[in-house]
Amino acid sequence: MILNDASTIWLFDYDLTLYFESERAVLNSLDRRISLYVQKILGCDFEKAQEIRKEYLRDYGTTLAGLRAKFGVSPDDFFDFIHEPEFLIYPEPAPQKREFLMRLKGPRYIFTNGRSDWSRTGCKRMGIYDCFRRIVGLEDLNWEGKPQISAYEKMESVLIEDGVTEKIFPEKIILLDDSLKNLKPAAERGWRTIWVNSSLEPKPNFVHEKVENLIKLGIRNEEC
């Protein structure tokens, strides 16, 4: 059970973490736009573009990172294309998520590999946007997201700049993420890690806890 006190710093990934596997259609709608952008840049067919999107995600951490490395694409051009709202699906209102988040005593952040407008719009649709102190999006990470070490270093610097803490105590930082490759560098920094995943796959040693979705997380309150 995770300790819940005012000194705990909660970092949430957005996709498949703040909304659940049951709403995968949300992410699928975004992935389709990403594949279409890859198709536009490479001039290939859609099926090939989907393969390349997944290849870049695997090899570079994000599709954008692969496109930047190979073709020098502009991050804002990429996100302006994939975030066209009329082509996207957003999560449903989620009062239960709001109730859970508001029970968490420490500061809450979104730490995402997407540009912040995607998670901001989704959180507003769910009714949880004001539960977070700030969204730290890819634009705040110099376009180098998780699992790049620089992303975690930048997140720590944000916490200090925001006055959340004067010094980083890694054991006080909790990252919830659906991606093991994003959790491993966090664990290596001493952060606590929670894998949000509904499969039966056992958690690796660097994961402190695995939950089906965030509202299944057990927390223990303690006065600070």
Backbone angles phi, psi at 18, to 5 degrees: -80, -25
71 and 107 assigned to the same domain: no
Residues 79 and 101 in one domain: no
Number of domains the chain contains: 2
Same domain? 15 vs 43: no
Residues 118 and 185 in one domain: yes
Residue range 123-141, pLDDT digits in tens? 999 999 999 999 999 999 9
Are residues 79 and 7 located together in one domain of the fold? no
Question: C-alpha 13: how far from its chain's center?
Answer: 2
Vertex 195 angle, CA 193 and 196, to 5° = 135
CATH number at residue 112: 3.40.50.1000
Claim to verify: residue 197 and residue 143 sit in the same structural domain = yes
Q: Which domain covers residue 112, as residue numbers?
A: 2-19+93-221
Q: Are both 47 and 115 inside the same structural domain?
A: no
Q: Specify the CATH number for the domain of residue 46.
A: 1.10.150.450
Q: What is the pLDDT of residues 59-87, one digit of tens each?
A: 998 999 999 999 999 999 999 999 999 99
102 and 195: one domain?
A: yes
Task: For 2-45, write each residue's pLDDT tens digit.
Answer: 778 889 999 999 999 999 999 999 999 999 999 999 999 999 99
Residues 14 and 48 in one domain: no
Angstrom distance (rounded) from CA 198 to CA 144: 28
